[in-house]
Chain A
Amino acid sequence: MAPFLLRAERLTKVYPDGTVALHGVDLEVRPGEVLGLLGENGAGKTTLTKILSGLLPPTSGRLLTPAGPVRFHSPKDALRLGIGMVHQHFALVGTFTALENVALGLGGMSLPALRERLEALIAETGLHVPLDVPVEQLAVGERQRVEILKVLARNVNLLILDEPTSVLTPVETAELFKFLRALREKGKAVVFITHKLKEALAITDRIVVLRRGRVAGEVETARTSAAELARLMVGAEAGGRGSSVELATETPAVAREARAAAEPALVVEDLRVRADTGELAVRGLSFALYPGEILGIAGVEGNGQTELVEALCGLRPIESGRVLLLGRPVAGRSPLELYRLGLAHIPEDRWKHGLILSFTVMENAIFGLQRERAFRGPGGLLRRRAALAHAARLVRDFQIQAAGLHAPARSLSGGNQQKLIVGRELAKDPKVIVAAQPTRGLDIGAAQFIRELLLKLREEGRAILLVSADLDEVLALADRVAFMYEGAFVGVARPAELTPEAIGLLMGGVKAGAR
């Protein structure tokens, strides 16, 4: 038997809401290796690592160390056995220095002694970090090093990194890889989570691919290719696959002809948008969206989709480039002005932008429309009767299950909340609809309702931009699919023309033909 540091056997995780995140996953981590964990959104990567690091208990299955089976009650237990994790979102106190942040978790060690130890550790690993500057003044890459030092200071043998490169510049990524190789030389193990094929191939020794909570395959990095990984990641059935989304995707001839004649409804030219961190999240994107068409944007989340949608809808400033909505520039206009030009937005986060949970169904039905003539009477009085009639119409037309028009939105199910948002946005009679993750978290019935609605809107000649992390949904609904990777499109194609391998490669950021 090969020596191992940690072994997971038949791990299954069922969340309280019934989601099965892992189905009987086996995994072994050996000393002196970098193990890649590859998969799409929702494949179970994060759940698996949370179990390995003691953050979540498995529903069934067990963890083994060379000393025998173990049970973690908290990340502390895992750390005691030399297993540490660095999360995608850092847990640092911004006003503390790197030294103080490391000291926080250690407890009982004097700062001078810790400084000595950290300086030795930095010399040994090459993870250069200024120890006496508040971490809020450090670059993201440096903060990540502080997180890694925090874990290493506890004599960790197995380091788990969750999407560590998603926040790093290419230079920082190269430095991280150098450090990981050095760690491997010392006989330590690294579990490296990523959805980027190139990185998985560059740094790992062995790759385990997860798909929908199961191990889809395990390969030696030296003997695999991007194409094979892509196939494993997306599954053989991708493309014209017997997917969970079954809808008529044939575009009627009428619509196609209409499109050929029409002007594009939305034009994006060389668009650049910054993320909250100041990094460029959208890097020179160009496309045109036509009336009577659904353009799908697929891709692993965090590749700039959110920033793109926010920029299109007036919620985020445009750094450079041009966006024309029905021939008029979008830059500098507020969401309200854009809606008056003919844009509707089904927001990605329904609780953040979509509705107000403590407001009633009626109040939410006119949200964003409150200043319209129809609802604003003389003297700024709210026309409650008109608002009630409008809400009643939405409830009827969109089959919203609510205890009444005065029930708070909080009391509605997620699906009915979403129908309320969608109904309200469509009541604006928009020419262009930007739908971001429109079916996320919905039950099958509600998701189906909304998908069919999107198709109907297309038939009516409206232009729809569908941004979704649900690959099946995009492939089933869209007339054209664009794959977004690190802020740019790596390929645009009709769904029928895509092979599973091509889809996997595009999702993983490998440009078509660039293999």
Chain B
Amino acid sequence: MSRLGQGLRPLVESLIAGLIGLGVGALIMWAWGYNPWPAYRVLFQESFGSTYGLAGALANATPLILTALAFAIGARAGLFIIGAEGMMYMGALAAVAASLPRLPAGLHPLVSLALAALAGLLWGLIPALLRAFRGVHEVISTIMFNWLAHFLAFYLVANVLVDPVRAEKTISVARTARLPLLLRGTDLSLGIGVAVGCALLAYLWLWHTVSGYEVRAAGANPEAARYAGVAPRATVLGVFAVAGALAGLAGAVEAMGRPPTYAVYSGLTNLAGFGFDGIGVAMIGRNHPLGILPAAVFYGGLQAGARLMQMWAKVPFEVVRAVQGVIVLALALPELLRILRRLGLLRRVRRHA
């Protein structure tokens, strides 16, 4: 098979999975007595068919690209890091805190992004050390750290970074630190550039550098990688650091680039879920940085389209959510099975040797 042919295969697989998902979703709507055809038409026309729709999809995709990259890089290294949620909270709050000092307009966003990346990285440090030196499984530790982040963020939003005038949110990100909007009247900010840039860098790292090669080797066959001179601990620490920084940036682009408030709400309502949705996006994108880009846009469009389906096609929100769930599940299933198998959670059918 040619190289191109091999690159196309997952694409074809995803297309088929997507069609199956849409088909099952249509069946669900039909079974509950709604006409799937106008519902889907609204979804695709409004989410992807207009400039404003597409801008909305891209804006929704921005943090998802970054959290998905955080998960995917871990997965490539054989780590099941589901801590992007907590790392993202820390990143968002660090970006808000970076607005406390006054800084010049050109520098301020860069400093804020850097602080957010650092906050995400540090939030992953303890699970990373536990994994590297004590063998504590990262699934357990990162789930626990998600909860720690959750309540710590609650506290910081309500007590430390709280807006003196409006107690339901933090102070807003300073004007000098905001990411400029790319299209007036939409939520699409320069954050999408940050996210796409990170995806390209991640791709270059994994496939065009020696250390990326070693990370993938450690993920695919740790025993062989050790034999080839890859240091397992350094790999774990490095991958956690990169994942943490990316997830931190996800929180930052949301806080710094989402009009109108440029803040974090109490209850984390404008942040909650990006970390976990990123896992779904990563799986739809086959844990490949370049696959994640279309996957995130699709996912983001699906989210924006849900409201519209409800409004225009009169499909109740619950049914829309179920349809979305089916589509995402169908798309993510092939990669999910691969990961579960690698974790040994599914028994592989072994051929007699």
Q: Which residues of A contact B (CB under 8 A)?
A: 15-17, 315, 334-336, 347, 351-359, 363, 367-368, 370-371, 375-376, 379-382, 384, 403-404, 406-407, 441
**A406→B6 contact, CB < 8 A:** yes
Partner of B223, one of A334, A353, A381: A353
Chain B residues with Cβ below 8 Å from A382 are 207-210, 212-213
CB-CB under 8 A for A370 and B228, given A381-B209, A406-B3, A441-B353: yes
Chain B residues with Cβ below 8 Å from A17 are 351-352
Q: How far is the CA of A355 from the CA of B217 in the complex (A)?
A: 10
Partner of B227, one of A353, A384, A406, A441: A353
Chain A nearest Cβ from B171, distance in angstroms? 40
Q: Mark B313-353, 1 if CB is under 8 A from A, else 0.
A: 00000000000000000000000000000000000000111
Partner of A334, one of B209, B216, B229: B229
Q: How far is the CA of A182 from the CA of B211 in the complex (A)?
A: 62
Q: Which of B1, B2, B224, B353 has the most CB of A within 10 A?
A: B224
Partner of B221, one of A356, A368, A441: A356
Q: A357-B220, A404-B1 are in contact. List 6 more A-B contacts (CB 8 A).
A: A358-B220, A368-B229, A381-B209, A404-B3, A407-B1, A407-B6
CB-CB under 8 A for A359 and B208, given A368-B227, A368-B228, A441-B353: no
Chain B nearest Cβ from A391, distance in angstroms? 13
Chain A nearest Cβ from B287, distance in angstroms? 12
**A15→B352 contact, CB < 8 A:** yes
Partner of B229, one of A336, A351, A354, A407: A336
The 6 closest A-B pairs by CB, nearest first: A336-B229, A368-B228, A406-B3, A356-B221, A356-B220, A353-B227
Q: How far is the CA of A403 from the CA of B3 in the complex (A)?
A: 10
**A371→B229 contact, CB < 8 A:** yes
**A353→B224 contact, CB < 8 A:** yes
**A370→B1 contact, CB < 8 A:** no
Chain B residues with Cβ below 8 Å from A371 are 210, 229
CB of B214 within 8 Å of the partner chain: yes
Chain A nearest Cβ from B291, distance in angstroms? 16
Within 8 A of A (CB), among B4-25: 6
Chain A residues with Cβ below 8 Å from B353 are 441
Residue of B nearest to A314 (CB): B227
Chain A nearest Cβ from B344, distance in angstroms? 15
Chain A residues with Cβ below 8 Å from B208 are 381-382, 384
**B210→A375 contact, CB < 8 A:** yes
Q: Mark B221-243, 1 if CB is under 8 A from A, else 0.
A: 10111111100000000000000
Q: Which residues of B contact A (CB under 8 A)?
A: 1-3, 6, 207-214, 216-217, 220-221, 223-229, 351-353
Q: How far is the CA of A358 from the CA of B213 in the complex (A)?
A: 12
**A356→B227 contact, CB < 8 A:** no
Q: How far is the CA of A334 from the CA of B214 in the complex (A)?
A: 16
CB-CB under 8 A for A380 and B210, given A17-B352, A356-B221, A359-B220: yes
Q: List, sorted by A's number, 9 A–B pairs whose CB atoms are closer than 8 Å.
A: A16-B352, A336-B228, A356-B224, A368-B227, A370-B213, A371-B229, A375-B210, A404-B2, A406-B2
Q: How far is the CA of A406 from the CA of B2 in the complex (A)?
A: 8
Chain A nearest Cβ from B221, distance in angstroms? 5
Q: Which of B226, B227, B228, B229 has the most CB of A within 10 A?
A: B227
Chain A nearest Cβ from B239, distance in angstroms? 15
Interface of B is mostly: helix
Chain A nearest Cβ from B229, distance in angstroms? 3
**A335→B229 contact, CB < 8 A:** yes
Chain B nearest Cβ from A229, distance in angstroms? 29
Q: How far is the CA of A79 from the CA of B278 in the complex (A)?
A: 51
Chain A residues with Cβ below 8 Å from B217 are 356, 359, 367
**A380→B1 contact, CB < 8 A:** no
Chain B nearest Cβ from A1, distance in angstroms? 36
Residue of A nearest to B230 (CB): A370
Residue of A nearest to B209 (CB): A380
**B227→A355 contact, CB < 8 A:** no
Chain A residues with Cβ below 8 Å from B214 are 370
Chain B nearest Cβ from A416, distance in angstroms? 16
Chain A residues with Cβ below 8 Å from B211 are 380
Chain B residues with Cβ below 8 Å from A357 are 220-221
Residue of A nearest to B205 (CB): A380
Chain B residues with Cβ below 8 Å from A407 are 1, 6
Chain B nearest Cβ from A307, distance in angstroms? 15
Q: How far is the CA of A406 from the CA of B1 in the complex (A)?
A: 9
Chain A nearest Cβ from B104, distance in angstroms? 31
**A376→B224 contact, CB < 8 A:** no
Q: How far is the CA of A99 from the CA of B122 in the complex (A)?
A: 47
Residue of B nearest to A345 (CB): B227
CB-CB under 8 A for A367 and B352, given A380-B210, A382-B209, A404-B2: no
Chain A residues with Cβ below 8 Å from B6 are 406-407
Q: Which of A355, A357, A381, A382 has the most CB of B within 10 A?
A: A382
Chain B nearest Cβ from A255, distance in angstroms? 31
Chain B residues with Cβ below 8 Å from A334 are 229
**B210→A370 contact, CB < 8 A:** yes
**B227→A315 contact, CB < 8 A:** yes
Chain B residues with Cβ below 8 Å from A353 are 223-224, 227
Residue of B nearest to A408 (CB): B6
Residue of A nearest to B7 (CB): A406
Chain B residues with Cβ below 8 Å from A336 are 228-229
Chain B residues with Cβ below 8 Å from A404 are 1-3
Chain A residues with Cβ below 8 Å from B225 are 356
Chain B nearest Cβ from A94, distance in angstroms? 16
Chain A residues with Cβ below 8 Å from B1 are 403-404, 407
Chain B residues with Cβ below 8 Å from A335 are 226-229
**B223→A352 contact, CB < 8 A:** yes
Chain A nearest Cβ from B222, distance in angstroms? 10
Chain B nearest Cβ from A45, distance in angstroms? 16
Q: Which of B6, B211, B225, B229 has the most CB of A within 10 A?
A: B229
**A376→B210 contact, CB < 8 A:** yes
**B210→A381 contact, CB < 8 A:** yes
Q: How far is the CA of A384 from the CA of B210 in the complex (A)?
A: 10
Chain A residues with Cβ below 8 Å from B224 are 352-356, 367
Residue of A nearest to B338 (CB): A358
Residue of A nearest to B3 (CB): A406
Q: How far is the CA of A381 from the CA of B213 in the complex (A)?
A: 10
Q: How far is the CA of A357 from the CA of B208 in the complex (A)?
A: 19
Chain B residues with Cβ below 8 Å from A379 are 209
Q: How far is the CA of A404 from the CA of B7 in the complex (A)?
A: 14
Q: How far is the CA of A403 from the CA of B209 in the complex (A)?
A: 25
Q: How far is the CA of A105 from the CA of B225 in the complex (A)?
A: 39
Chain A residues with Cβ below 8 Å from B229 are 334-336, 368, 371
